[in-house]
């Protein structure tokens, strides 16, 4: 599906799920440290769809991946912590299977009754999931009558549970996926101008395509994080021990030239926070970008840069933010990221469209309790970037169009 001004796919509102087995593909790929979930944003974001289905007496078979087990069982990547957290949020036990497929799974599914919920074990314990294996997809489909995709964070992947399964079941969108596509579409279809982007993160290499796409849509791009180092290095500056992608210097030069040609203001830091190492006890100080010592590294944007960026953002009517301004995981290096987050959140009250595009930006916003003050906070890092690039997302494209008739369960969708 090409990004559209309105959501052009059928959703769970369009189907009668009472008494039906619903295969719900969610994105419950949350960060887990030593068995403890450190950010449950994606679980909470999936709740509206889960509750909608349960309240309408659907039999919900909930599936997700976790991490990158590469087709092998990993105890560290089992979904039990996710099931436990979901149990707390729903106020009811969430039963789990020991696998995503197999005789035991079928037995568990056969015992389900309307209003029941069963979570399958990590889909990616099977290499066939990421391979979009047709037999694996058909087997997953055999568990259910209807397919619902609410996993926006995985919608840019053509996997068995996001694309292959749609060839065997009526396939519709969940409420989160609908909300994501509708919100992000605002960036593609005549967003209120000026439209400014704040982009950060560690590397230029992972964001070349989105930068190129934004040059055709934005009036300004404000760069921070480690990726700013590569742009600064391309301008001839010495960055000490900072992360610089030498192989991307030519691309950085090309993007800056393209920005000049298209009259897009591409802003880079004028001052930075430096430290000898990335450590919470490291001594930091602020210097001009032209004065980074050889034994120091850039860990954040400086206060003058924050002032310049926020003054520019004060003119915007649409703001898209993806990527932190520094090593925000360490509190003393998070001031730039936090200041930008607070300022963008404050602009929402002025009627500005403020969209946070997934990834570490979401973690920063959640940590500051600012998510509700943004127009939209995406749960999909890579998916949100590809959508903004204007790419087709296989997991969305595969769903039934809004004006298509609903096929009977078992018919090819």
Q: Is 359 a catalytic residue?
A: yes
Specify whether the CB–CB gap between 269 and 253 falls below 8 A: no
Please state, in angstroms and rounded to a whole number, the distance separating the CA atoms of residues 94 and 27. 16
Q: Is 382 a catalytic residue?
A: yes
Instruction: Based on the residue annotation, tell me whether 174 is a catalytic residue of this protein.
Output: no
Q: Which of 44, 80, 203, 317 is catalytic?
A: 203
Contact (Cβ atoms closer than 8 angstroms) between residue 375 and residue 355: yes
Q: 332 vs 226, 287, 289, 299, CA distance in Å?
A: 16, 16, 19, 9
Residue 71 contacts residue 124 (beta carbons within 8 Å): yes
Contact 258, 316 (CB under 8 A): no
Cβ atoms 378, 152 nearer than 8 A: yes
CA quadruple 94, 98, 103, 104: dihedral sign: negative
Asked about 203 being catalytic, the answer comes back as yes
- The active-site residue, picked from 8, 382, 390, 391, is 382
Give the integer Cα–Cα distance in Å for 221 and 266: 5
Q: Which residue do the tokens 């890579």 mark?
A: 382
Annotated catalytic residue within 9, 20, 21, 42: 42
Instruction: Please tell me the distance from the alpha carbon of residue 245 to that of residue 375, in angstroms, as a whole number.
Output: 33
134 token code pair = 């047709």
- For 149, the token pair is 């995709």
Angle at the Cα of 339 from the Cα atoms of 373 and 308, rounded to 5 degrees: 115
Q: Catalytic pick from 224, 225, 302, 359?
A: 359
Sign of CA dihedral 91, 75, 358, 337: positive
Distance CA 174, CA 47 (A): 10
Q: How far apart are CA 145 and CA 112, in angstroms?
A: 13
Which active-site residues does the annotation give? Answer: 42, 203, 359, 382
């Amino acid at each position: 599906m090409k990004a559209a001004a309105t959501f052009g796919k059928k959703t769970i509102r369009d189907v009668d799920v009472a008494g039906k087995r619903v295969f719900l593909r969610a994105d419950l790929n949350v960060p887990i440290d030593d068995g403890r979930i450190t950010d449950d944003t994606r679980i909470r974001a999936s709740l509206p769809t889960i509750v909608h289905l349960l309240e309408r007496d659907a039999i919900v078979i909930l599936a997700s991946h976790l991490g990158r087990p590469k087709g092998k069982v990993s105890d560290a990547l089992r979904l039990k912590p996710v099931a436990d957290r979901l149990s707390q949020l729903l106020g009811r036990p969430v039963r789990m299977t020991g696998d995503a497929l197999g005789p035991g799974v079928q037995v568990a599914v056969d015992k389900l009754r309307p209003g029941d919920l069963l979570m399958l074990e990590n889909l990616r314990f099977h290499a066939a999931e990421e391979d979009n294996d047709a037999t694996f997809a058909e087997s997953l489909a055999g568990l259910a009558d209807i397919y619902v995709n609410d996993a926006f964070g995985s919608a840019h992947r053509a996997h068995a549970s996001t694309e292959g399964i749609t060839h065997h079941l009526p396939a519709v969108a969940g409420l989160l996926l609908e909300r994501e596509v509708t919100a992000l579409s605002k960036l593609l279809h005549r967003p209120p101008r000026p439209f400014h982007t704040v982009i950060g993160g560690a590397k230029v290499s992972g964001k070349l395509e989105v930068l190129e796409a934004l040059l055709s849509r934005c009036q300004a791009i404000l760069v921070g994080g480690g990726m700013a180092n590569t742009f600064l290095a391309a301008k001839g500056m010495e960055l000490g021990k900072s992360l610089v992608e030498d192989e991307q210097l030519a691309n950085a030069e090309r993007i800056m030239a393209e920005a000049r040609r298209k009259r897009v203001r591409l802003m880079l830091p004028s001052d930075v926070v430096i430290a000898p190492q990335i450590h919470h006890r490291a001594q930091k100080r602020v210097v001009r970008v032209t004065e980074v010592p050889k034994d120091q590294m850039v860990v954040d944007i400086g206060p003058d840069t924050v002032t310049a960026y926020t003054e520019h953002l004060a003119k915007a009517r649409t703001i898209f933010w993806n990527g932190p301004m520094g090593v925000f995981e360490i509190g003393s290096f998070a001031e730039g990221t936090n200041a930008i987050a607070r300022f963008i959140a404050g602009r929402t009250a002025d009627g500005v469209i403020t969209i946070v595009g997934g990834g570490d930006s979401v973690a920063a916003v959640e940590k500051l309790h600012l998510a509700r003050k943004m127009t939209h906070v995406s749960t999909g890092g890579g998916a949100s970037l590809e959508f903004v690039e204007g790419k087709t997302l296989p997991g969305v494209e595969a769903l039934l169009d809004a004006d298509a008739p609903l096929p009977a369960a078992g018919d090819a969708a």
